[in-house]
Structure 1
Amino acid sequence: MFQLNTTMRTITGTIRSTPLPWPPVLSNIPPPHIRQEAVTHKMLLKVKDSPHLPIHADIYNPPTAQLPSRRPIWKNTPPADFTIQLAWKTEWESKEVPNKHLVLDPNLQSHLGVDNAIIFLLNQAYTHLDKAASMVRVMFFDFSCAFNTIRPALLREKLTAMQKYSEDSAIVGCISSGEKTEYRATVQNFVTWCELNHLQLNVTKTKELLVDLRRKKTQGTPISIQGAPVDIVDDYKYLGVYLNNKLDWTKNSEAVYRKGQSRLFLLRRLRSFNICGTMLRMFYESVVASAIYFAVRFEGSRWQQTGWINKLVRKASDVVGVQLDSLTVVLERRMLSKVQAILDNDSHPLHEVLDRLRSTFSQRLLAPRCSTERHRKSFLPVSISLYNSSLKISDTPNQVQ
């Protein structure tokens, strides 16, 4: 481990850029409590300059020039006048969060990661687009300083009621026959909920993705939030994955390939320092493979650049010195593990969907109805097929006996 740390510091230039000896360098770093109090002082100044919060302007700000050196720049005990207005504080603590206005977000549930949110969003889109005269509109919201200007003591209970509300929030509108009333009402309810709970939306960074795969497409009317129209974009990066209005994965695959090349360069640099094969394999699994296989489950069998990724894997195999799993092997293994995790987790948003597809005669899952090839090659149908194949393989030895 010491060898790996030394090598990584050499790659990143830490050893060359750090002057020696070490004691004079460390003596210039202030103690942790002084650094923490300096950050707190900056936060207080930011709160004081925020006009959208009803906070007293007379925040205690001692003259820093009169303080001795290496002393805290503000007192440990804030004075009595550093308080939020009593009426606003009482309303904030006592007001319940209207959960009916919250968007269904798999990230807010326990033991679920960001990949579940993308899988749930794409399954809704693919299922709805199979119907005639249908389209999907997705609104991606962005908050400006959502929790930075509110005291943590007041925010703790509110965050618990909100289930640690994520900034990466999206509203999916499944529209049929041009009926957009319910979708617009849901967006307006969400905006109202943010205003009641003192969350400031950044309308300039809020984007909308319009997915219309019909031959005769209709031009979408932009939605206005707080008097400003929301931009309709062709693609958007949501939770680390590029989504576009055609639901293909060309841009995301290109981004993954570029990221994989940069990570492969670090792997080659490690080998140049005569690192053992075990450490190289560990570095590949944690740094390289995590980057190139992050979105492999979302695309199902629709991966556009399979040859590109397998080329990276072959180059990494030559560097590590062992045979590494190809994209197809990793894809099947991860999709199978994900569908098994969904079946075992009753709180997962897709658990009810898979539970309705259980066969009454065996442990197999019935294939969902798919009218288009894009839906047939998405995550859910492909993972169900792999799951049924794994059951067939596991039952073969018992039949032989």
Structure 2
Amino acid sequence: MGKTKELSQDLRDRIVDLHKSGMGYKNISKLLGIKVTTIGAIKAHVEARLKYANDHLKDVQSDWKKVLWSDETKIELFGLNSTHHVWRKKNAAYDPRNTVPTVKHGGGNIMFWGCFTAKGTGLLHRITGKMDGAMYRAVLRDNLLPSARKLKMGRGWVFQRDNDPKDTAKATKEWLKKNHIKHCSPALEYLFINCRPFYSPREFASFILASVYITTDADVREAQRTLADCIQQVERTYPDALVIVLGDFNQSNLSYELPGYKQFIKCPTRAENTLDHCYTTVKDAYWAIPRAALGLSDHVMVHLIPTYRQKLKLIKPSVSTTKRWTSEAVEELRTCLDTTDWDMFKGATHDLDEYTDTWTSYIHFCEERILPTRTRVSYSNDKPWFTPKLRQIRKEKEAALKSGDRDCYREAKYRFSKELRRAKSVYSEKLQQQFTANDSASVWRGLRQITDYRPQASKGQDDKALCQSLSLHYARFDTSSAMPNTSPPPSVTAPMDLTPSKAVPSSSPPPLTITHHQSSPPPFTNSEQDVRRQFARLNPRKAPGPDGVSPSTLRHCAEELTPVFTDIFNSSLESCQVPACLKTSTIVPVPKKPWITGLNDYRPVALTSVVMKSLERLILPHLKSITTPLLDPLQFAYRANRSVDDAVNLALHSILQHLDSPGTYARILFVDFSSAFNTIRPALLQDKLSQLSVPDSLCRWITHFLTDRRQYVRLGKTVSDSVSISTGSPQGCVLSPLLFSLYTNCCTSSHQSVKLIKFADDTTLIELISNGDETAYRREVARLVSWCGHNNLQLNAQKTVEMIVDFRKVTAPLPPLALMDSPITIADSFRFLGTTITRDLKWEPTISSLIKKAQQRMFFLRKLRKLKLPPRMLAQFYTAIIESILTSSLTMWYADATVRDRLRLQRVMRAAKKVIGCRLPSIQDLYISRTRRRAGRITADPSHPGHGLFSPLPSGRRLRSIRTKTSRYTNSFFPSAIRLLNTK
């Protein structure tokens, strides 16, 4: 719609007078021949001016002297460019007294932009041509700041501009912000105060208090965005300060734009509504108590009681004793192991268990005897750059302060500040070297010290009774019926040989025997090169297992230990038996939630032998190469070119494709198993592996590995009695996830409308229902329950959740689903493989969660910038730590995200860009590149379950588009990927 021509002043006054007399908008419009919307706008403008005058009625004269007023005015060179009402006689229309001279085809007027203050007028600029936003910004660039300097406005002056659309445009606001001219929002008032209380926690350099007021008629989204931008700017300037935001927010909520900020006022502050909020990034910072209102205020007062505890008081100093792997100690350990007589150990016994246990004990003995130790006391607020020299200078500074000698104290203070700057500079160079060397682990450890980040570790309880109860609880699935008979048949036996090329004579007790079936292939063996390469990849910071052999020893002494462990590994595989010391595991209970209510609230994490993990990693690729071609196509774990994104995208594609047809809906059952890994029966697993063409020797080796395992629970410094179990696979073993996937491989759907999608132990049943027929769905659920009963898997009905996706306009209550006589909970949302899926298939919860995590990590980026790292290093950190969070499962949800959510994501990226100071790729560009790359890999893999959706046209140059009816289906991964590939 075109812009309405500005009305004359007398016509405006007449409209206002008629409105005051009681005449309505429509009657005034008919009387004067003016649009109704124009009549309403005139009244709104008058009310806005009256409100402005009342708001500033009590402003003092000095405040008005700081205001710079500006406007554009048009001057008529010939007469007036407006309609005038005159009294004239009949046939006197063209009398010279009743006419106004004008210029034909325009040019009879001139327009100026000008500004003035109480001190005088500023620059005057003539406007040629049509006045638009670009010309207005050019006028401001050439005249605004020079006028302020000419009039000697000083600091803190206010620019009062017109309310014309070109003056209030978004581009104009951005220009003002870029030139450090703050834009006053009519919807938001705020004030930031930086203060430093005398008594404050050491981890906060200062406190920034923000007082906020958002008006009742404000644009909530715009006000929240403006306030969030201001807070992020303050955080960039003061990364060590704690920002506390308080005020009257009315109906807005800061947590939407800044999810990392927590709101502490939960009580009603005005009637039944909570309009006053208090936000900060610290958890459990305040406890809010409502108090009586002050005077005639309609808002209650809120007493905020601090509940925050200093980290120095909350976390006790930790005393740790570590081994020092100096070059001298490593060389001495290598010499000790290299000069060891291996034949003495080999000739002392012919039992593999005893031989392996003797060897591991000897290695642990050498490590304890040779390596020096260091005991260190660590405090929660220690900084990585605080060197012993700096600590000594600080003590000298404190001594000078106590002495009262001001000159001595000034000198000590100067030396401390100089050494602190030097120490930070040295540490900054160290971080740069770690970034250059791609040592992410060292960088992350340094960041945790810089930012005082301390993850909540489980507190050890020296409770013997609890330790014993947990030990029995974790062995509750073990039954005598689950123990398979692993003894070899009496025919075709041969004695075990530690050296496969030589025979070992019999001795008492009889040696272990191995079985060689004539039809079975030779057992899998490992070369010394493979074992050496595996030892060299070990993480030296990992804890040793129950056998006491640390990964550092295996890594530093790989050349000396490789021949021995290669012999042990091959003997174990040939005899199909695993040494008992390598099967022993230590169970460390990890709390699942802060408040423990029962034994099920502890997650068992098995700490196994590092030597055994190395052997498992050698067997894993061999086992995967055999079983991968025979795996269920809808099993997405432990397979090449498969990921959680593929599992979720395929599930969503099946649902959205089905819902594109009328009269359809979908029921999704998210199945939860009780201690899935702990219920595997080795005998059943051996049969399933045999059906998957796994060699018999490897099947029996895996069965022996899972049978007669010794485990004990360690809780703090308390250790339970050991228990022997023959059921399940330890959580923490390398092979456990793959073994469970193979164990459940035969669990598939038999009906076309039911999809059974699996990712290790995460199982999802999707029923695509048409015309309300749920027969197939309930039959498949019954089959799943029966299958689990026959395979010793226990379904957890309390944690199994169902979600119904139904977009029909007219719906009836659906019959509930029961699992083993227990009703299943119907949820509106569920976290499926790391992504929150809602019943309306909206992505706002997922995006809010990602933004919250990314904004929390922005704190690390600001801390690195304070250490003066170069922009290239900061960009690398952003890509690895922040961008990876923002773009998690990006191909799944970005195309269907709302414009508002996309802008929220882009604002986080822009905030990082301002911190780093260099250009960063946009979220849109990352989405396009990743979608094309992922689609290209799927099209190149014929075994991928989504490969058939990428069907080429007869020309071979383009792909066949997927026919869609709804936008949610159009914006899903597969249709979007095909469009992007076709437009490449």
TM (norm. structure 2) is 0.31
Letter of the structure 2 residue corresponding to residue 195 of structure 1:
G
1:8 paired residue number: 447
Give the aligned partner of residue 19 of structure 1: none
Amino acid at match of 1:46: H
Match for 1:126: what amino acid? L
1:134 is aligned to 2:715: no
> 1 CA distance for matches of 2:661 and 2:925?
33
Determine if the alignment matches structure 1 residue 111 to structure 2 residue 641. Answer: yes
Judged with a 3 Å threshold, the aligned counterparts in structure 2 of structure 1 residues 5 and 232 are, in CA distance, closer, same or farther, namely closer
Match of 1:54 in 2: 479
Three-state SS of the structure 2 residue aligned to 1:348 is coil
Q: 2:962 aligns with which of 355, 368, 374?
A: 368
Aligned in 2, Cα 1:246/1:330: closer, same or farther, shift over 3 Å?
Answer: same
Which of 337, 347, 352 in structure 1 is aligned with 2:943? Answer: 347
Q: Deviations over 1:5-26 (max 9, x none)?
A: 56414235379xxxxxxxxxxx
Q: Secondary structure at the match of 2:651?
A: helix
Paired AA for residue 952 in structure 2: R
Aligned to 2:910: 314
Q: Do the aligned residues in 1 keep the contact of 2:952 with 2:960 (CA within 8 Å)? A: yes
- Quick check: 1:387 aligned with 2:917? no
Give runs of aligned pairs for residues 281-296 of structure 1, distance below 5 A.
Answer: 281-296=875-890
Unaligned runs of 5+ in 1: 16-39, 57-70, 79-99, 391-401
Return closer, same or farther for 1:255/1:14 CA change in 2, 3 Å cut-off: closer
Helix, strand or coil at the partner of 2:893:
coil
Cα shift readout 1:156-214 (whole Å, capped 9, x = no counterpart): 79546336961221011101001111111112212222222212221111101100001
* CA spacing shift, 1:110–1:190, aligned 2, 3 Å: farther
Aligned to 1:31: none
Inter-CA distance 172–108: structure 2 relative to 1 (3 Å threshold): farther
Q: For 2:767, what is the secondary structure of its paired residue?
A: strand
Higher share in helix:
1
Query: 1:352 Cα deviation (Å)?
Result: 1.3
Shift of 1:108: 5.4
Show the counterpart of 1:62.
Answer: none
Q: Name the amino acid aligned to 2:869.
A: I
1:280-316: CA deviations, max 9, x gaps? 2222111111111113211252112010011011111
Identity, % of aligned positions: 27
Deviations 1:121-144 (A, max 9, x none): 110011000111110111101122
Instruction: Tell me if 1:323 matches 2:925.
Output: no
**Aligned 8 A contact 2:672 2:800 in 1:** yes
**Do the aligned partners of 2:665 and 2:769 also contact (CA within 8 Å) in 1?**
yes
Considering only aligned residues, what root-mean-square deviation do their CA atoms show, in Å? 3.2
Greater share of residues in strand = 2
Indicate the residue corresponding to 2:361 in structure 1.
none
Q: Distance in 1 between matches of 2:954 and 2:827?
A: 45
Q: Say which SS state the counterpart of residue 803 (structure 2) adopts.
A: strand
Are the counterparts in 2 of residues 47 and 149 from structure 1 also a CA contact under 8 Å?
Answer: no
Give me the whole-angstrom Cα distance separating, in 2, the residues matched to 1:77 and 1:272: 48
The CA deviation at 1:47 is: 3.9
Any idea what SS the aligned residue of 1:204 has? coil
**Larger relative contact order (CA 8 Å, sep ≥ 6):** 1
Q: Displacement, 1:106?
A: 2.9
Which of 155, 158, 161 aligns to 2:742? It is: 161
| Cα distance in structure 1, aligned partners of 2:860 and 2:480 | 49
Which residue of structure 2 aligns with residue 32 of structure 1? none
SS of 1:297's partner is helix
Partner secondary structure for residue 983 of structure 2: helix
Question: Which of residues 822, 827, 830 in structure 2 aligns to 1:236?
Answer: 830
Aligned-partner residue type, residue 665 of structure 2: M
Residues 148 and 273 from structure 1, CA distance in 2 versus in 1: closer, same or farther, beyond 3 angstroms?
farther
Per-residue CA distance 1:37-67 (angstroms, 9 max, x = gap): xxx999854344x1x54249xxxxxxxxxxx
> What is the distance in 2 between the residues matched to 1:302 and 1:160?
32
Answer yes or no: is the 8 Å Cα contact 1:210–1:220 preserved in 2. Answer: no
What do residues 294-346 of structure 1 show as CA deviations (whole Å, max 9, x unaligned)?
Answer: 13211252112010011011111122221111111111111111111110111
User: 1:144·1:200 contact (CA, 8 Å) conserved in 2?
Assistant: yes
Count of equivalent residues: 327
Q: CA deviation at 1:350?
A: 0.7
Which amino acid in structure 2 is aligned with residue 243 of structure 1?
I
Structure 2 letter corresponding to 1:369: R
Aligned-residue offset at 1:247 = 0.9
In 2, the alpha carbon distance for the partners of 1:284 and 1:169 equals: 34
**In 1: Cα distance, 2:468 partner to 2:635 partner:** 35
Matched-pair contact (CA < 8 Å) for 1:7–1:273 = no
Q: How does 1:230-309 map to 2 (within 5 A)?
A: 230-304=824-898, 305-309=901-905
Matched, 1:199 2:786: no
CA contact 1:159–1:165 (8 Å) conserved in 2: no
Residues 103 and 171 of structure 1 are in contact (CA less than 8 Å); yes or no, is this contact kept in structure 2?
A: no
Q: Which moved more, 1:116-125 or 1:314-323?
A: 314-323
Q: Following the alignment from structure 1 to structure 2, what is the Cα–Cα distance between the partners of residues 223 and 136?
A: 14
- Equivalent residue number for residue 214 of structure 1: 808
Separation of aligned partners in 1, 2:937 and 2:891: 13
**Structure 1 counterpart of 2:932, one-letter code:** L
Report the residue type matching 2:911 in the other structure. K
TM-score (normalised: structure 1):
0.74
SS in 2 for 1:364: coil
Counterparts of 2:837 and 2:865, CA distance in 1: 36
Confirm or deny: 8 A CA contact 1:7 1:270 kept in the other structure. Answer: no
- Would you say the 8 A contact 2:828–2:839 is kept in 1? yes
Alignment equivalent of 1:122, drawn from 628, 652, 657: 652
Q: In structure 1, the residue corresponding to 2:776 is in which secondary structure?
A: helix
Q: Separation in 2 of the partners of 1:225 and 1:104?
A: 23
How far apart are the structure 2 equivalents of 1:103 and 1:201? 23
The Cα of 1:149 is off from its aligned counterpart by: 5.7
| Cα 1:267/1:349, change in 2 over 3 Å | same
The CA distance in 1 between the partners of 2:479 and 2:633, in whole Å, is 28
Name the counterpart of 1:174. 768
How do residues 80-95 of structure 1 correspond to structure 2 at under 5 angstroms? none
Q: Structure 1 333/54 Cα, relative in aligned 2: closer, same or farther at 3 Å?
A: same
Map of 2:63 onto structure 1: none
Which range moved further: 275-284 or 340-349?
275-284
- Secondary structure (helix, strand or coil) at the match of 2:949 reads helix
Distance 1:5 1:146, change over 3 A: closer
8 Å Cα contact 1:309-1:327 kept in structure 2: yes
Q: Any stretches of 5+ residues in structure 2 without a counterpart?
A: 1-428, 432-442, 455-466, 482-545, 548-579, 584-629, 683-704, 708-728, 730-734, 746-757
User: Is 1:146 matched up with 2:699?
Assistant: no
- The one-letter code sitting in structure 2 at the alignment partner of 1:381 is P
In the superposition, relative to structure 1, how do residues 165 and 288 fare at CA in structure 2: closer, same or farther (>3 Å)? closer
**Which residue number corresponds to residue 13 of structure 2?**
none
Distance across 1 between alignment mates of 2:791 and 2:430: 49
- Contact 1:208-1:230 within 8 A present in 2 as well: yes
Aligned to 2:953: 359
Instruction: Provide the residue aligned with 1:396 in structure 2.
Output: none
Separation in structure 2 between the aligned mates of residue 351 and residue 41 of structure 1, nearest angstrom:
52
CA distance in 1, matches of 2:926, 2:779: 42
CA distance in 2: counterparts of 1:5 and 1:148, whole angstroms: 33
Deviation at 1:374? Answer: 1.5
Give 1:254's aligned amino acid: S
- Whether the aligned pair in 1 keeps the contact of 2:802 and 2:827 (CA below 8 Å) is yes
